[in-house]
Amino acid sequence: MTTKDSSERDARVFALYEQLLEIEQRLIPTGLHVFGRASSAGEQIDLFKMIASFDRPEHGVRALPTEHVEAAIREFVNHGSEAAVRLLETHGLKADETRSVFALLESVSTKLQTNTEIDSLVRALRGEFIEPGPGADIIQNPDVLPTGRNTHAINPYSVPSAAAFARSEFVATSIVERYRNEHGRYPEAMALVLWGLDNIKTQGEGVAQALWLLGVRPVRDGLNRTTDVAPISLQELGRPRIDVVMTISGIFRDLFSPTVQLLDKAVRLVAQLDEPVESNYVRKHVLQQVQADACTPDEATVRVFSNAPGNYGTNVNFMVMDSQWEREETLGDLFVTRKCFAYGRDSHGRAFEGREARLAMDRALSRVEATYQNIDTFEIGLTDVDHYFEYLGGVSKAVEKRAQAKPAIYLSDSLSREVKIRTLEETLRLETRTKTLNPKWYEGMLKHGFRGVAEIENHVSNTFGWSATADAVDDWIYAEVANTFLFDESMLERLRDLNPHSAHALAQRLLEANGRGYWEVDESTLAKLREISRNLEDQLEGVL
């Protein structure tokens, strides 16, 4: 072997090692939450590890070092706080500093063991007072415990928080740098998906990412409300200002009305900066559009889109699930039909709240080169629900037709210690390996019987949603789903006994993936699948 060969080999082995580590270290939800039931000790070890892996200035807690966290948490669970503190002392960590971590974990542990959800529900039905509690991710904010309280959101005027804005600089920079590494230049325009619950949980990280891409910072008024923005200088930014097209959910629109105005204001501010168009893509595109369409600058600056007032969702998920669509572009068109309502304020200060603006949205999407969404929790990812593909998949499919090129599609999870930007394909592989195909995950689901099989089938259908909207699913994913759930006889029998409807739907979805050209597979595998599907169908008819 030459030196070059061996260093290349070492680099590949290292990359493989890093990937395995990434999969191993991922927190995997095992099973569903059962209303009224406290979580078990086994589930708590992983949770404690994650909680102890983050700095928590609000609790005076420093993160435990990665190399000792596992052993320390085991010691804590088996022998208590003092034992864990002493163990860490042998590694040179001061007791004064580590004690606060375990005090926090003890309080989390106590709250996890009490569950008053049913009691609270009954009291709520009686019209009694229910104590409020914050809505957030348990790792991000352990103060969400105990559950069974009246979840409240946040003050929209506090968004984005200083912490969220600080964290988001790295994310925004990483996205555009990753694009530049792969395409040799910055993306001129990006489409972002913003959700309400996510921005509650992260105190506005999605909002902050949009502001960073535009190159502006939030400004608070005398009442400490975030009502304005100021440009970050091009020199400080060190890159062009990216044109950002925002699709916001109906929930975001309802909960974050002042933030919607802030985002629109940010775009309008950037469009008016006296800067060279090579460094300010918002300005570049607005000027181009005013020329090409003979429209007003106001019309050319619309970038915040949502449903018509009172409406929610894209319906792209329903269309995919029903299997009645013929051409993929129908999915992207449906997205625009649902989401082409503009929100903001024109240069005369007149608010528009849900004005139909289909042409403006078509134009804005026609320039998009990358799409992006932030994933805010380990619990709900790309294949757990149909909302990620209806939104990020939907907007990406809409871009594909209007820009006549597929956008680069990126995601990040804000909960890792080091935020990492991944492509859609990379994220799907990671999710598939850690959830759908992971025995720890599906056995956790199967403990829930009928509902668990339905969850497995949902994951497969949601994975399929990423084929339909972005053709982003590798062949091996469908092949391994078939091997794991249908071609393993004892597994097939379990699924059939617990929930033949979902087992049948799963087989049908795999056949649809092949039929629509998303999964290339040999004829004998298909024949086996068809037979399994037919048998399940016969069984279902027998039941009826």
**Residues 335, 410: Cα–Cα separation, whole Å:** 19
Q: Is 259 in the site for ligand BEZ (CB under 6 A)?
A: no
Nearest approach, Cβ of 387 to ligand BEZ (angstroms)? 4
Handedness of CA 50, 56, 61, 67 (dihedral sign): positive
Using an 8 Å Cβ cutoff, are 261 and 253 in contact? Answer: no
Distances from the Cα of 501 to the Cαs of 453, 462, 497, 509, 543, in angstroms?
A: 9, 17, 10, 12, 11
Q: Does 192 bind ligand BEZ (CB under 6 A)?
A: no
Q: Cβ 251 to ligand BEZ, closest distance in Å?
A: 3
Type of residue numbered 91? H
Q: Is 251 in the site for ligand BEZ (CB under 6 A)?
A: yes
Candidates 145-153, 208-216, 231-239, 244-252: pick the segment binding ligand BEZ (CB under 6 A).
Answer: 244-252
Could you tell me whether strands 304-306 and 341-345 are parallel, antiparallel, or unpaired per DSSP bridges?
A: antiparallel
Q: How far is the CB of 352 from ligand BEZ (least distance, A)?
A: 21
What would the two tokens of residue 421 be?
Answer: 């930007």
Q: Which is nearer to ligand BEZ, 387 or 422 (CB)?
A: 387
- Closer Cβ to ligand BEZ, 195 or 464, answer by number: 195
**With respect to ligand BEZ, which residue has the nearer C-beta, 198 or 298?**
198
- Using the rule CB under 6 A, is 197 a contact of ligand BEZ? yes
The answer to whether 159 touches 203, Cβ cutoff 8 Å, is yes
d(CA 195, CA 73): 34
Please report whether residue 253 would count as binding ligand BEZ according to CB under 6 A. no
Minimum separation from the CB atom of position 159 to ligand BEZ (A): 14
**CA trace torsion 124, 130, 134, 138 (10° rounding):** -70
Question: Closer CB to ligand BEZ, residue 369 or residue 384?
Answer: 384
Asked if 76 is part of the footprint of ligand BEZ (rule: CB under 6 A), the reply reads: no
Q: 392 CB contacts (<8 Å, ≥6 apart)? A: 193, 371, 372, 373, 409, 411, 424
Least CB distance to ligand BEZ at residue 52 (A): 28
Closer to ligand BEZ at the Cβ: 28 or 153?
153
Letters for 308-347 (x = contact with ligand BEZ by CB under 6 A, - = none) are: ----------------------------------------
195: contact with ligand BEZ by CB under 6 A = yes
- Please select the residue that binds ligand BEZ; options are 196, 240, 332, 344, rule is CB under 6 A: 196
Q: Least Å distance between CB 158 and ligand BEZ?
A: 17
Measured between alpha carbons, how far is 286 from 267 in angstroms, rounded to an integer? 10
CB of 460 to ligand BEZ, least distance (A): 20
Nearer residue to ligand BEZ within complex by CB, 63 or 153? 153
249 binds ligand BEZ (CB under 6 A): yes
Distance of CA 48 to the CA centre of its chain: 22
Q: List CB contacts of 471: < 8 A, sequence separation 6 or more.
A: 518
Query: Of 105-113, 184-192, 229-237, 246-254, which part binds ligand BEZ (CB under 6 A)?
Result: 246-254
Shortest Å, Cβ 311 to ligand BEZ: 13
Question: Is residue 85 part of the contact set for ligand BEZ (CB under 6 A)?
Answer: no
SS3 324: coil
Is 187 or 394 the residue whose CB approaches ligand BEZ more closely? Answer: 394
Q: Does residue 378 touch ligand BEZ according to CB under 6 A?
A: no
Among left, alpha and beta (phi > 0; psi -120 to 50; other), residue 184 is left
Residue type, 203: Q
Residue of 387, 397, 402, 504 interacting with ligand BEZ (CB under 6 A):
387
Q: Which is nearer to ligand BEZ, 154 or 176 (CB)?
A: 154
Nearer to ligand BEZ, 195 or 212 (CB): 195
Q: Which residue blocks in 257-406 are alpha helix, DSSP H?
A: 257-271, 281-293, 297-300, 316-322, 328-339, 358-366, 387-388, 394-399
Q: Is 252 in the site for ligand BEZ (CB under 6 A)?
A: yes
Structure tokens at 292: 């090409």
* N-to-C CA span, the chain: 66
Task: Establish if 281 lies at the interface with ligand BEZ (CB under 6 A).
Answer: no
Which phi and psi angles does 502 have, rounded to 5°?
Answer: -70, -35
Return the SS3 of 132. strand
The residues pairing with 351 across neighbouring beta strands, listed in sequence order, are: 345
Size of the site for ligand BEZ (CB under 6 A): 7
Nearer to ligand BEZ, 29 or 231 (CB): 29
Q: 181: which strand partners?
A: none
Question: Site residues (CB under 6 A) for ligand BEZ?
Answer: 195-197, 249, 251-252, 387
